Structure 1
Amino acid sequence: MKTKESQENYLETILILQKRKGNVRSIDIANELDFSRPSVSRAIKLIKEKGYITVDESGLIKLTEEGKEVAGAVYEKHVTLGKFLITLGVEEKIAMEDACRMEHVISTDSFEKIKAHAKKCMEK
């Protein structure tokens, strides 16, 4: 299923927060992204309707299997591209900001080639 960049950012953020905190609520996402609570609530509703997350009666947000898949793929691109740019000499802050934008537009084929090349470079 194709996702929009903003949805991918939310899913990636949920994944990161789950790793960091365990439980995730809308307020955690709002704080992490520095977004308003109403904006996050609207986004969460849309992402839930697409089947990427569940929200229980206490407000805990969990990624579904499909949500984990999308979030994991976006996160892998972010980390890999960021590290690769750093090895090229890009300042870490800029590298991670660029990786955040690149992760949404790079094709799977191009990413896999970059990932393989980056792995070879980092092994040396």
Structure 2
Amino acid sequence: MLSPSLEDYLEEIYRFSQQKGFVRTTDIALKLDVSLPSVTKAVKKLTQKGYLDYERYQNIQLTSTGKKLGKFLVDRNQTLRDFLEVIGSDCDLEEEAEAMEHYLSEETVDSITNLVKFFAANPDYQQELLQFQEEIKE
């Protein structure tokens, strides 16, 4: 199990690897607004745990385990953003999803995923929920 901080690093490393095909420590430092020594320390920990292959002054490579967990982390974040949108939450979706994601079990994330899919397949029910929320605000 990774700390929320290490999850954030792995999530961003996965995103960069999918977008650019390579990942540099400077990219991660800029994206997460942290120092290069902080990135290096996190990358070393993730390497020791088997999620990355990394050698100093080289690009960061995800292991198969790192790719699998990285994909889960990115998907979890997107699911939570989708969930917040579906339920009509009036918040900063990115910030709120980030606040939630580290504290939910995989089973809860699966249930939220199913709820988002249910509302996508049944938009009338989503509309009923949103209308209900408006009615109880008054």
TM-score by length of 2: 0.81
Partner of 2:109: 111
Q: State the alpha-carbon separation in 1 of the partners of residues 106 and 20 from structure 2.
A: 30
Cα-to-partner distance string for 1:40-85 (whole Å, 9 max, x where unaligned)? 1111111111111001465110111111121111111100110110
SS at match of 2:61: strand
Q: Please give the residue correspondences for 1:1-124 in structure 2 after superposition, counting only pairs within 5 Å.
A: 2-56=1-55, 58-91=57-90, 94-123=92-121, 124=123
Q: State the alpha-carbon separation in 2 of the partners of residues 68 and 91 from structure 1.
A: 32
Q: State the alpha-carbon separation in 2 of the partners of residues 28 and 16 from structure 1.
A: 11
> Aligned-pair distance for 1:90?
2.5
| Bigger radius of gyration | 2
Q: State the alpha-carbon separation in 2 of the partners of residues 76 and 64 from structure 1.
A: 18
Root mean square deviation of aligned Cα: 1.5
Consecutive unaligned residues of structure 1, counting only runs of 5 or more, are none
Number of equivalences: 122
